[in-house]
Homo-oligomer: A and B are copies of this chain.
C-alpha cells in the first residue's frame, strides 16, 4: 500500500489552528509564506512518497545486518539517504549559515511527520542527526559548529546520541562511561553504550557520536556528566577525514520493530582503531553540564518522537481505510442484496473514525506546539516569547507521551480492520503494530514524560500554568456556545469539551494540592494525567478545527467535503474520546489507594 501525505489536512492545521500567518510575521520567519510552505510540503510529500515509502517494507524483511563490525543497511537505504541529503531535507529547520533552509518548526514538523509515515526506520537517522546538530548549536564552540554541522546538514555525515548504558536506562545518574583529559584539549573516552540508533551504518562517510561520560574528578549522579563529540573518523584541520577512532559496534539488537534501523551496542576504547587505546573525544560546552545540553536536544527529540506517533498512526489509518474499501464481506446490517465492502459495516467505520480522530487530534496539538516554539524563539516581545516557550514546554511531554501511546492503539486497530489478513506479515499492517511499540519507550518512557509533566510543568508553579491552559480550553467552549446555535455537531462538541476541561482542572487541582503531602499518590496518577491532558488538549484542537470548518463552510471557503469530514471527525472525537475524560480524572483523583496497596511480595 502506498502512502499519500495528507497535505490538505496538514495545511489546514498549519493555517487555521497553528496560525501560519502569525508565524510568517515573526522576525527570521518571513520566508515561510503560505505559498512557500505549501510548495515545500508538496515537494517533501513527493520525495518521501516516491523514494522512501517503497523501502519501508523492504527494511522490515531485510533489516540492517552486522558482519565484522560493519553494518550494512537495507538495500536502497544508502541511495535514498544520499537523495534525502541532496534534496536539502536534513536542513529544513537548521540555520542558513550552516547550509540549512532556516524554516520555522511549524514547517519542519509536517516534513518530519511525512518522513516518518513513509519510512520510520529510515527517518530515525535524520532524527538523531537533528538532535546532534541541535546539541552542537546549543553548546558547541564556533569551531565545533563549523567543523561538524555543515556536513551533517548536507547529509554527508550523520549524528547519534549516546546516553544509555546497560545499568543506565531512564536513570542517567548511573552513567559510568569515562572521559580522561589528555592535556591537549582532547579526552580519551571508554565504556559501553547500548541502544544507539544508527550507531553504526554505511549510509554516510562519517558518524558524529555525541557521548555522555564522566571526567575523573566529576561528582556522582547527574551533575557529573559531560558531553563529548566522538567522531567515528577524526576530522583533520582541513575538514578531510583522518584516522579511524576507537569506537566500535559490537552487536546490533534483534528488535520487535523498526528493524531497518540498526540499534547498536558501541564499545569505546577497545584499542582496535588507528588512535591507540581510548576513543578520542572533544568536550562540548563545559564539564559536568552534559545533561543540561542533552536536555535541549532531548526536548526536540521528544517532540520528534511524538511526530513519529502521529506518522505511524496516519500510515496505519491509510492502509486500513484502503483495505476496508476493497474487502467484500457480509451484508450491510441495514440490509443489502449481497455482501458489501467492509467499510459499510458500522464497526469498521468506528475503528477507522477512531484511528482518524486520534491521528488528526494529535497532529493538530503538535503543530500548534510547533508554532508556539517558533513564537517562543523568534517573537520580538520577550514576554510573548516567554509565554509561548512555557506553552511549548508544557506540551512537549504530552506530544511525546500521548501521540505515541495513541499510535500503539491506532496501529492495533489497523491490524483489527484487516481481520485475519492483518496477522499475516505480508499484509503490512502488522509492521506498524510492531514499529509503533517502541515509541512510548524511547526518548523517555511515557512515565518519564508524565514525571516531567507533573514535576517540572505542573506542580512547580502550583498548577498555575496548567490552569491557564484549561482557561484557554474554556475560551473555545465559550466560542462553541456562541457559534453552535442550531448545529448539533458543535453543541455536542461543546458539551464533551466542557466536561473534558472540568476533568482536567480537577486533575490539576488534585496534583497541585497533593504534590507535597502525598507525592506517591500524585505519581500513581501521573500517566493517566498525561493521557487526560492529551485527550482534552487534542479534543480542544479538534473543537477549534470544527469552529474553523463551520466558519469556512458558512463563508463558502475551502473544500466542503474536507471541512464536513473535519466537523464530523471532531464530533466523533468528542463523543468517543473526550467522553472518557471524567473517568480518567476519577482514576487520578481517587485511584491511588488501589495502585499502592500491595506489598512487593504480593505481586
Contact = CB atoms under 8 A, between A and B. Distances in A.
Interface of A: 164, 167, 169-171, 173-174, 195, 253-257, 321, 324-325, 328-330, 333-334, 339, 341, 343, 345-350, 352-353, 356, 408, 412, 415-416, 419-426, 430, 433-434, 437-438, 440-442, 445-447, 450-451, 488-489, 492, 496, 519-521, 523-528, 561-562, 564-565, 568-569, 571-576, 579-584, 586-587, 590-603
B447 A420 contact: no
A572 B600 contact: no
Which of the listed residues A169, A438, A581 has the most CB atoms from chain B within 10 Å of its own CB? A169
Contact of A346 (B334, B343, B445, B595): B595
Given A195-B420, A420-B169, A561 B602 contact: yes
A256 B565 contact: no
A447 B591 contact: no
A343 B602 contact: no
B572 A347 contact: no
A423 to B, nearest CB: 5
Given A169-B329, A561-B602, A594 B580 contact: no
A450 B412 contact: no
Contacts of A169: 329, 419-421
9 contacts: A346-B524, A349-B596, A350-B524, A350-B595, A408-B412, A492-B590, A569-B598, A575-B587, A576-B595
A598 B573 CA distance: 14
B582 A594 contact: no
Contacts of A488: 593
Closest 10 CB pairs of A and B: A572-B594, A568-B597, A347-B447, A575-B591, A580-B583, A346-B523, A346-B524, A171-B330, A256-B430, A579-B586
B420 A442 contact: yes
A170 B524 contact: no
A457 to B, nearest CB: 16
Interface majority SS on A: helix, strand, loop or mixed? Answer: helix
A435 to B, nearest CB: 10
A450 B352 contact: no
A597 B571 contact: yes
A587 B595 contact: no
Nearest to A530: B347
A566 to B, nearest CB: 10
B330 A170 contact: yes
Contacts of A594: 353, 568-569, 571-576
B446 A416 contact: yes
Nearest to A421: B169
Given A345-B523, A416-B441, 9 more contacts: A173-B330, A253-B423, A254-B425, A345-B447, A412-B412, A416-B446, A423-B442, A528-B576, A568-B593
Contacts of A174: 329, 339
Given A171-B330, A568-B597, A347 B425 contact: no
B593 A492 contact: yes
Contact of A334 (B350, B415, B520, B573): B520
Contacts of A347: 447, 450, 523-524, 526-527
A420 B164 contact: yes
A579 B532 CA distance: 14
Given A334-B520, A594-B575, A173 B350 contact: no
